[in-house]
Structures are given as C-alpha cells and as structure tokens.
C-alpha cells in the first residue's frame, strides 16, 4: 500500500510531468503525516477529510487550499455527471480563493487551467496556462500540457470552427496546429510545407514538436530515412529542459520506470541529448543500419494510435482494481509511463508497446458493457478492455459471464476451464455436486485474475517488436568465441548461420544470388556506440542443399569489459531480416596464468590453401553456430591454450581431457561416472607457450541428445588446470 504523500505526488506528476518532483512538490505535503493517519493509496475522500480539518483550523492555509483544489478536481473524474460538477464547482471555488490570496502561488494558474481543460472550457484554460507560462517562465511540464491541450481542443471542434480560430489567433502555436490539423486529415504535403516555413522563422516555441511532426509526415509517406533524420535533429537541437520535455512526449509511451527516473535527474542539455540517443539506440535491432527499424515501427504505431485511440478526457490519478470473487483488492501500481500519457487510451498504449494483437475477442454483457480482449503470442499475453474504441479501460479480469468467456474459450487454459465449469453449473443446478463445481469456478476465476494482473504489469513494462512492412523474420543461429591476439588483446568472433531453406521459402523463382546486408554494432553498458560496421556479402543458393546453412563471421577486438552486441542480417531479394541483441562479457587474456580460449565446434577443419575470412593459424575453420552434429561424422574442435610453462628441457607438456555429459544430468550434485557419454584424455608436448589445438572426436557410439562438451587442460609442469565448455547436440 502506498500513502497519501505518494498519492498527492503521483497526482501532480500525472498532470505536471516528471521533472524533479522532490524539489518542486514535496514541501506541499510535508505537514500531512499520512502514516499517522493510516491512509491508503487512492483514497481522495480521506485526503479531503484531512485537508478540510486543516482549513477549519486555519482558513489562511494556502497550501492546504491548493491541495484541496487539486483533490476535488481529481475526485470528480470518476464520478457521475452531477457529482462531478459538484466537485469541480468546489474545486473552482478553492482555486479562486487562492488567486485572491496569492495569485503567484506556485503553479496554481496551471493547475486551475487543467480543471478548465477537464471541463472543456478551452479558452479559459488557454488563458490560465499562458499566464502561468508568463509568470514562471517556460517549464517543460507546462509547455507539454499546453501542446496537449491544443490537440484536445482541435479534436473537439469541427473544421469550420477551427478555420475561424486560426484566423483569430496569430501565433507560432496556431500555425503549428494548423499544420497538425492538415497532417491528421491526410494533407501531408501541405502540412510539411507549413511546418517547413515555420521552422525558417525565429520561433517563439521550441522546434521539437515541429521536427517530430515532420518525422510523422515522412514516416507516413514511407520515407523512413528522411523521417529518422528529423527525429535525430530534434534530439541534436535540445537546448534546455523545455525542449527535452517536448521530445519526451513522443517516446514516453515505451519508457521504463528506470529510464524515467534517470530522466528526472538530468539538468544539462548535452545529458538530455545523450539520454534520448541511448533510449533509441538500445531499442534499435539493426544498429549498424542507416534506418532504425524499431523507431520506424514506433512512429507507425504512434500515427495509427493517434488516429484510432486518441483519448484526451481526464483519467483517474490512481486505480484500485477490485477482486470481487473473493472480496479482496489488488493495488496495481501502474508504471510512470502510463501516467505520463494524457492523450492515448489504454488500447492505444498497449498497441504502441506491442502492436496489433494476434487475436481479438469481443462481447457484450447483460449490462450492455462492451468487453474486448487482445491476445498476443510469443510471449503469451492477454489484455482486457472495458468500453468502446479509444475510451476502453484496461481491466485485469473478465466478468463471470458465460457468453463473454465462451467467446474466449478457444484460447484454452483458464478460459476453457471456467467456461466448462459455468456450463456444468447450469446443468448441475440444485444437485449435490453443484457445491464442488462452485469451488472450481472460484479457483479458475482467481487464477485468471492473477494471470490478468501479471499480464497488465508485463504489458505496461515491456514492448514487442515486429519487422515493418513485408519483412519476415529469419532465424540466425550464432556462436560467440574469444581468442587472444598477439598483443594480448581479445578478439571476439561471432559466427552465424543463414538457413538456406528459410531464406528462399516462398521465393518463386529462387534468386540466383542473395545479397546479405550484414550489420554489426558494439555498445558499452551506457549504450555509447564503440564499433559499427555494415557491409554487403553474397551467397549463391544453388551451391547449397535446402537443409544446409551458409556460415559467415564478424569480428571485433575489445578490452575486457561488458558490452551490448547487435548482429543483423537482411536479405532484400526475399524480404528477410534477422537480428540479435545480447550482452557479452569480453574475457581478459592479459594474465600470465594458464588460460584457454573458447571452443569452436566445427563442421570441418582443413589446412588453409590461402588466407581467408575463416582462417586461423593456417587452418580453415568452418564453424557450426547451430552446434548440431551428425554422430556419423567426427566432431571437429578448435581452441587455443595460453601461458603453458616450460620444463627443464624448454618444452611444454600438458594433458587434454574431453568429456561429453548429457545436459539433463548437469544439475545433479552427485554425478555417477556412467552419466558421462564420453571421456578421453590425450597428452601433448610442444615448444611454444601457446598451443593451437585442432581435434576430431569419434562420437558415433554416443546416443542422440543435448550435451555439455568440456575441455580441460592440465599443465604437467605447473600442475594448474583450466576448463572451458560448449553446448552441442548430436543427432
């Protein structure tokens, strides 16, 4: 449970943005000791009671009056029309009293303006907001609210009224929103020209909304590279907190709480620019490419959401979800991104994060409530919405209604079990078995509720990416290996496989040549780019059997540290794209102790006739990134041993032990010897402290399955041992 302090801060954050709440707002509630009163979150009525008592003791307490005005404003949101009007009338009286006592009290004009916006008294709201802006200077949360309020106004008025309004209001705001109305009506070229002319001026408003609107125009025109340039320009021209807050408006929907918390600590323009660059970069699945496809999908979803799921009406500042089946409640502490959203309905927020659902079910209850459910696969998530269109509210569970549940019975699991139990209840009515069935219904309801709560939490903190347009995903098995360079740095090899059958599936005719767009990027843990490369490679499908894979390789050299690594491969001829992002800790090979490189399991290893991409120390190594092997063929391995010690004869001497152990047994504490599918020890001698090892293991007698391959090197002179592992599969 949260307390009143959190509630009030949260309410003001919802309406005012997120910038430095502790500095700006904490003192407003410092005299209310919520824990002493045992006040739970979401209880505006209790808050009002406390504030009324404070004001009865001191009518001049402007702080309490301010908080009561906000409380009454927020209380009215969830009430029926007559009660809402009463709360808002009293909130108006409180705001007017504050203006009489101290019209400069903090952001009272802004808060009063929000009330007028709630009431759709837009002209009064515009006046109050702009007066606050003049008095306190431009602040990010106020400026963002002004832009949002203008958008709200334009969605509520017909074109004829808007033309008159634009004619009466000559300002950069008016010109910008005239362009926005054109854009939203599909007049993209006229909107683009108007925005272009406005950007040439010495603006009275920040340029970020203009640049981001141009980005939406060009994404709408299917010109992603131009559109992306405007997004990047909007980041590069951030010069203060206001311009940063206006850029935040376009990405806030997909941010995590951690990212929003980090944003609130920033106070320098360069740090804002770095923050937003990192936000985009960490989500980009093709970081070495010219076009950020994740950003493209984000804007395509934004454009659709603002068209279909717009919702500017005020929403509750906190939600308590009731668990009626067993008379309990579950407080859902929605993430901050949810509350920063003031213009897109719950359906739209899920859509922006996860895209179009894989399946939709809709029902109308006996109370004529419209319930719609969206199901996503991989991972499996289900979201329920109560109400039509963009006004639907996200709810965790369905009503206990047979018609509603039967519409989702095909989804299986709890939906099928509960539907069957409800039908059984009808057939068992009045019998002794009905009580047992009732217990089943309660249990299934509770399970669906718990799953719904979990899905809501996941849905608002994760996002799902799919390739835009006609692009289809192709699986790219990959394998990461590291080795020591001559100057004791670390070289990282990433082998990847392109399954030929998947690449040419559905192609008619099959292209003679496939051009691979291979991109590779390395970032540090703060998402700063350290290495990017993009190059074209080619394969000829006719040279492969359809069950084969083409193997390729990218490499980089790095110091020992943790990195974000991104690999992507695009095949334009067949509209395929594959991408992987993974964290990787680069090993440190600078030590003088006995060390062992990673192991490369290979399809074959041959003496190199000439130096090539796959050549290491005179050997051509054809790695197998999928690590699946036919037991009929020897298992080829390549690895390197470092820092062997010399004996008295200036020679090295060491043993190599190979073991294969079934993975299903690897978690057992006590392993018996018969769990080992293979164990082999060989002895080696050499003249160099570094040993290049190439081995072939006979695995013909090993049964099918997944195995841990372990290689252990024991230096016979020093007595030290070192081990490395690799997972493989034998068929």
Q: Among 126, 299, 169, 333, which Cα is nearest to 228's? A: 299
pLDDT exceeds cutoff 90 at 378: no
Given a cut of 90, whether residue 712 has pLDDT beyond it is yes
Name the phi and psi angles at 121, rounded to 5. -90, 75
Across 451-478, b (16+ Cβ under 10 Å) vs e yields bbbebbeebbbebbbebbeeebebebbb
Q: For residue 391, what pLDDT is reported?
A: 67
Give tens-digit pLDDT for 79-97.
888 999 999 999 999 999 9
How many whole angstroms separate alpha carbon 108 and alpha carbon 97?
A: 11
Report the chain's mean pLDDT, rounded to a whole number.
Answer: 86
Say yes or no to pLDDT of 131 above 90.
yes
Task: Give me 45's structure tokens.
Answer: 């009525």
Q: Which of 131-140, 240-249, 560-569 has the lowest mean pLDDT?
A: 131-140
Instruction: Choose among 690, 607, 709: nearest CA to 642.
Output: 690
Q: Is-contact 230 220, C-beta < 8 A?
A: no
- Structure token digits, residue 583: 């964290």
Half-sphere exposure of 722 (CA within 13 A, CB side): 17
Of 7-21, 23-37, 664-678, the poorest mean pLDDT is in 23-37
CB atoms within 10 A of CB 366: 9
pLDDT of residue 389: 58
CA distances from 133 to 13, 111, 128, 142, 146 (A): 18, 12, 9, 7, 10
Please tell me the predicted confidence (pLDDT) of residue 368.
67
| Residue 129 CA, distance from chain mean position | 33
Binned at pLDDT 50, 70 and 90, residue 26 comes out as very low
Closest CA to 178 of 202, 156, 194: 194
- Cα–Cα distance for residue pair 283/276, rounded to 1 Å: 11
**261: Cβ–Cβ under 8 A, 6 or more apart, which residues?**
336
For the cut 90, the answer to whether the pLDDT of residue 355 exceeds it is yes
- H or E stretch at 729: strand 721-730
Least confident of 330-339, 341-350, 540-549, 687-696: 330-339
Contacts of 666-673 with CB under 8 Å at 24 or more apart are 666/708
Checking if the pLDDT of 33 tops 90, the result is: no
Per-residue model confidence (pLDDT) at position 466: 86
- Using a 10 angstrom Cβ sphere, with 0-12 exposed, 13-18 middle and 19 or more buried, the burial of residue 543 is exposed
Q: What is the pLDDT of residue 674?
A: 47
Res 6 pLDDT > 60: no
* pLDDT surpasses 60 at 140: yes
Q: Is the peptide bond before 60 cis (omega within 30 degrees of 0)?
A: no
Question: What size, in residues, is the chain?
Answer: 731
Q: How many percent of the chain have pLDDT more than 90?
A: 64
Written as six digits, the tokens of 209 are: 């909304």
User: What is the value of pTM for the model shown?
Assistant: 0.85
Please say whether the dihedral angle defined by the alpha carbons of residues 279, 284, 289 and 290, taken in this order, is positive or negative: negative
Q: What is the pLDDT of residues 635-651, one digit of tens each?
A: 999 999 999 999 999 99
pLDDT of 373: 94
**Edge-to-edge strand ranges of the sheet holding 472-473:** 472-473, 576-585, 562-571, 514-523, 529-539
| Residue-level pLDDT at 594 | 97
Q: Is a pLDDT exceeding 90 seen at residue 560?
A: yes
DSSP of 234-283: HHHT--SHHHHHHHHHHHGGG--HHHHHHHTT--SHHHHHHHHHHHHHHH
Pick the closest to residue 179 from 227, 217, 153 (CA basis): 217
For residue 570, the surrounding DSSP H or E stretch is strand 562-571
Q: What is the mean pLDDT of residues 466-481?
A: 90
The phi and psi torsions of 239 (rounded to 5 degrees) equal: -125, -5
Q: Is the pLDDT assigned to residue 12 strictly greater than 60?
A: no
- C-alpha 162/C-alpha 175 separation (Å) is 12
The answer to whether 353 touches 459, Cβ cutoff 8 Å, is yes
Question: What is residue 36's three-state secondary structure?
Answer: helix
Q: What confidence tens digit (pLDDT) does each residue in 256-304 have? A: 989 999 999 999 999 999 999 999 999 999 999 999 999 999 999 999 9
pLDDT exceeds 70 at position 24: no
pLDDT (tens digit per residue) in 150-163 = 999 998 888 888 88
Inter-residue contact 212 to 234 (CB < 8 Å): yes
Which range (13-27, 42-56, 402-416) has the least confidence? 13-27
Helices 208-220 and 293-308 cross at an angle (nearest 10°) of: 90
């Amino acid at each position: 449970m949260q307390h009143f302090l959190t509630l009030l801060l949260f309410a003001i954050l919802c309406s005012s943005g997120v910038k430095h709440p502790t500095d700006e707002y904490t003192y407003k509630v410092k005299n209310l000791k919520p824990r002493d009163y045992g006040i739970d979150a979401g209880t505006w009525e209790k808050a009002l009671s406390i504030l009324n008592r404070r004001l009865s003791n001191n009518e001049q307490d402007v702080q309490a009056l301010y908080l009561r005005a906000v409380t009454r404003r927020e209380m009215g949101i969830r009430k029926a029309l007559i009660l809402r009007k009463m709360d808002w009338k009293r909130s108006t009286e409180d705001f007017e009293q504050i203006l009489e006592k101290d019209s400069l009290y903090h952001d009272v004009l802004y808060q009063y303006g929000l009330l007028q916006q709630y009431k759709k008294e837009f002209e009064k709201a515009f006046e109050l907001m702009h007066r606050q802006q003049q008095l306190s200077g431009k602040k990010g949360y106020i400026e963002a609210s002004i832009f949002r309020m203008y958008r709200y106004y334009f969605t509520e008025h017909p074109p004829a009224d808007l033309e008159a309004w634009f004619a009466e209001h000559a300002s950069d705001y008016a010109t910008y929103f005239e362009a926005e109305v054109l854009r939203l009506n599909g007049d993209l070229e006229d909107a683009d020209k108007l925005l272009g002319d406005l950007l040439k001026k010495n603006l009275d408003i920040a340029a970020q909304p203009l640049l981001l609107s141009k980005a939406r125009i060009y994404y709408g025109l299917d010109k992603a590279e131009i559109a992306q340039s405007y997004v990047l320009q909007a980041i590069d021209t951030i010069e203060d907190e206001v311009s940063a807050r206006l850029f935040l408006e376009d990405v806030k929907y997909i941010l995590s709480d951690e990212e929003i918390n980090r944003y609130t600590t920033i106070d320098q323009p360069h740090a804002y620019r770095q923050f937003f660059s990192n936000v985009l970069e960490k989500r980009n699945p093709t970081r070495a490419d010219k076009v950020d496809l994740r950003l493209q999908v984000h804007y395509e979803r934004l454009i659709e959401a603002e068209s279909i799921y717009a919702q500017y009406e005020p929403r509750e500042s906190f939600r308590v979800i009731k668990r009626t089946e067993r008379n309990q409640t579950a407080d859902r502490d929605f993430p901050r991104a949810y509350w920063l959203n003031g213009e897109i309905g719950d359906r739209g927020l899920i859509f922006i994060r996860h895209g179009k659902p894989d399946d939709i079910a809709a029902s109308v209850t006996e109370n004529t409530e419209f319930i719609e459910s969206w199901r996503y696969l991989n991972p499996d998530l289900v979201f329920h919405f109560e109400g039509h269109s963009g006004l639907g509210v996200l709810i965790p569970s369905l009503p206990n209604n047979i018609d509603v549940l039967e519409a989702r019975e095909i989804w299986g699991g709890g939906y099928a079990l509960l539907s069957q139990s409800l039908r059984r209840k009808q057939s068992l009515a009045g019998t002794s078995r009905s009580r047992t069935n009732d217990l089943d219904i309660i249990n299934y309801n509770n399970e669906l509720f718990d799953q719904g709560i979990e899905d809501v939490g996941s849905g608002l903190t994760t996002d799902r990416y799919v390739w835009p347009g006609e692009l289809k995903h192709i699986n790219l098995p990959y394998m990461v290996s590291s080795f020591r360079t001559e100057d004791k740095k670390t070289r990282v090899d990433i082998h990847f496989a392109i399954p030929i059958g998947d690449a040419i599936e559905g192609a008619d005719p099959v292209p003679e040549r496939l051009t691979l767009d291979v991109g590779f990027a390395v970032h540090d843990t703060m998402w700063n780019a350290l290495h990017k490369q993009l190059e074209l490679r080619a394969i000829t499908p006719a040279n492969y059997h359809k069950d084969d894979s083409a193997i390729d390789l990218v490499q980089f050299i790095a110091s020992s540290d943790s990195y974000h690594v991104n690999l992507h491969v695009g095949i334009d001829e067949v509209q395929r794209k594959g991408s992987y992002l993974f964290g990787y800790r680069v090993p440190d090979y600078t030590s003088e102790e006995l060390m062992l490189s990673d192991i490369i399991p290979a399809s074959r290893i041959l003496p190199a006739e000439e130096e090539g991409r796959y050549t290491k120390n005179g050997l051509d190594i054809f790695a197998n990134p999928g690590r699946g092997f036919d037991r009929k063929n020897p298992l080829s391995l390549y690895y390197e041993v470092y820092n062997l010690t010399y004996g008295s004869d200036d020679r090295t001497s060491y043993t190599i032990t190979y073991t294969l152990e079934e993975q299903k047994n690897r978690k057992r504490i006590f392993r018996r010897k018969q769990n080992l599918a293979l164990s082999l020890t060989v002895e080696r001698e050499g003249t160099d402290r570094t040993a290049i090892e190439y081995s072939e293991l006979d695995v013909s007698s090993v049964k099918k399955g997944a195995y841990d391959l372990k290689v252990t090197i024991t230096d016979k002179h020093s007595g030290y041992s070192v081990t490395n592992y690799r997972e493989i599969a034998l068929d």
